[in-house]
A and B are shown apart, each in its own frame.
Chain A
Amino acid sequence: MSNPDSETPLVQVRNVSKHFGDGDTRVDALRDVSLEVHPGEVVALLGPSGSGKTTLLNVIGCILEPSTGWLSLDGEVVYDGRWLRSDLRKLRLEKVGFIFQFHNLLPFLDSTDNVAVVLSLAGFGKDESKRRAIELLDYLEVGHRKNAMPANLSGGEAQRVAIARALANRPRIILADEPTAALDSERAGIVMDLLRKVAVEQEAAILAVTHDEKIFDRFDRIFHLRDGRLDDQNT
């Protein structure tokens, strides 16, 4: 585990608010949220449905523009009242990896190409992309399924390929949306161990939205969201 006090946070969220609609229809999804995640940390976002977990994940992932606030990713201020970069997709490609609840692998690409596609988008050549993709699959202990299509992978294997894809361009921030929700306890444990390994070995910050009680003890810190606010009782 990292020492949060001694390193620059990879994710810094300051006073971020997000509301949808105006007047009578106004919904405050996030209210003055601030948090930091440091390299090597694996943190969870907890909260009931509608508490703003996914909205916060979308804001940190530069998918959703906050209404107010300040956001820094990997040492770069990306939002300060407005987006400071015009190409947010490139920003995501460089800095953020995503892991989804249902893996969201592209069904028409095999495991290797599902990982290589990110490298290809980042400008790597075909051979280099393939080589690095296979290395990653081996690292995540799913190299033996490198030629399998997503439809032929088990839930755990598919999620490991999805993690490999999230890590492909070596982002230092991994955002995970219910990464273990579709897995049984054993496989959920394996996935969390892998995320821990990635966080430690690659000095990455991992922020996961989860409802999965069986993995609560795998997180370094847990942020509780309620009605768009972070609880004081974060653990």
Chain B
Amino acid sequence: MNLAYRDIRHNLGRFLLTCFGLSLLLGVVLSMIGIYRGLVEDALTLVRTPAVDVWVVESGTRGPFAESSRIPGDTREAIARLQGVSAAGSVTYQSAETRHGSEKLRLYVVGYEPGRPGGPDRIAGGRPIGRSHYEMVADKRTGLSTGSRVELGRDTFTVVGLTDDQVSSGGDPVIYITLKDSQQLQFELAPPAARREIARGSSPGDTDTINAVIARVSPNVSPESVAEAARRWKHLAAMSQAEQERILTRSVVERARKQIGLFTALLLIVSAVIIALILYTMTMDKLREIATLKLIGAPDRTIVGLILQQALAMGTIGFGFGALLITSIKDYFPRRVVLLPEDGLALAAAVILVCVLSSALGVRLALKVDPATALGG
């Protein structure tokens, strides 16, 4: 006879309500883990999308994401000629804000040379950029669709293709435009400023500047050897893909990552305390029944089983509801929530462990109950 099941069935509404409350709490814990993963994933998306091995940036910087980096536009040709480089591309990165209809759009603009590394890795709808000017590929999170027209700087761009899950480390959706367009957007002076420069007798400025050159190396060639070769130019710095990823996760999103990590840990502790209190209260409610069971001869294992099984049922149902809830609403979060199976399993294991440990309080209480309590008097 399973007493835990019978007791749950007897107070089913209250038990399910408790499980629901716990599921909301565990859902929040799971979503925080998902947000944490999403933050790291978002930060790495931009750096992984071009699928390159070496990043060449301005000397003395750790650009182009952690720090500003400006290098001459012809650097790409020099890097492409290095031994072992199979492909190289120039790229620019900048934030921009515009409006589409009544909506304000914050965008992260990537300029690249079509046909070279740096563009979107996969087009989810429409086509890649085919013209040299005023076309863009936008991430679906912008809310734009193919054919939409968006003003950027002094020009109007047409969305020709769409991507999935391309966002910056700040969570802004990414758009891709040609390098020429992005250079104009980033470096060209506004007409009044350009006229003033001409009036002063200076050039309005060379816009052939880029933020980085990215390069793929041939198989069996070490990216480090290519980076080393690039560093011989004193105005350049170079790093491998792994170094660039480390900079992003250990520098650019480090503080946010720690903040979310700490908050997640705190939530787990709060969950553990709440689970312990719930189990303790559930046991308190049953003290007379437990005393009666002891009096009629129930061994300790029956009492422990009653409490432990209810604790595990509550943890399992609470986690199940929570996971289901977050899985079904995660796409409505403003930032990406990445739910990895291993994270879910780890949290489930943690919840089970917390339930077992928390039930120790209730078990201790139950084992101390004097069977004479059932007799009263």
A121–B6 CB distance below 8 A = no
Contact: A177 with B297, CB < 8 Å?
no
Residues of A with C-beta under 8 A to B298: 89, 121
Q: Is B219 an interface residue (CB 8 A)?
A: no
Which residue of chain B lies nearest to A175 when distances are taken between CB atoms in the complex?
A: B375
Q: Given that A89-B297, A116-B1 are contacting pairs, would A108 and B6 also be in contact in the complex, using a CB cutoff of 8 Å?
A: yes
Q: A92-B295, A121-B297, A165-B296 are in contact. Are A100 and B289 (CB under 8 A)?
A: no
Tell me the dominant secondary structure on chain B's binding face.
helix
- Report the interface size class on chain A: 35 or more
Residues of B within 8 A of A93 (CB): 296-297
Interface presence of B38 (CB below 8 A): no
Binds B, one of A57-65, A186-194, A198-206: A57-65
Q: Are A92 and B297 in contact (CB under 8 A)?
A: yes
Q: Give bound CA distance, A54 to B377, whole Å.
A: 6
A152 at the interface (CB under 8 A from B): no
A contact residues around B96 at 8 Å (CB): none
User: How far does the Cβ of B339 sit from chain A's closest Cβ, in whole Å?
Assistant: 37
State the CA gap A186–B376 with chains docked (Å): 24
Q: Is the CB of B289 within 8 A of A107?
A: yes
B: interface residue count bin: 20 to 34
**Which residues of the partner chain A approach B297 to less than 8 Å between Cβ atoms?**
89-90, 92-94, 118, 121-122, 169
Are B377 and A104 touching (Cβ within 8 A)? Answer: no
Stretch at the interface among B7-15, B108-116, B124-132, B165-173: B7-15
B residues within 8 A CB of A94?
297
| Contact code string A89-107 (vs B, CB < 8 Å = 1, else 0) | 1101110001011101011
The reply to whether B6 and A98 contact each other, CB–CB distance below 8 Å, is no
- Are B10 and A108 touching (Cβ within 8 A)? yes
**Cβ-defined contact, B292 with A177, below 8 A:** no
Instruction: Decide: B375 and A92 in contact? CB cutoff 8 A.
Output: no
Q: List 19 A-B contacts (CB under 8 A).
A: A54-B372, A54-B375, A58-B372, A63-B295, A63-B371, A89-B294, A89-B371, A90-B299, A93-B296, A101-B377, A106-B289, A107-B10, A108-B10, A109-B3, A113-B1, A117-B1, A121-B297, A121-B302, A149-B10
Q: Which B residues lie at the A interface, using CB under 8 A?
A: 1, 3, 6-7, 9-11, 288-289, 292-299, 302, 370-372, 374-377
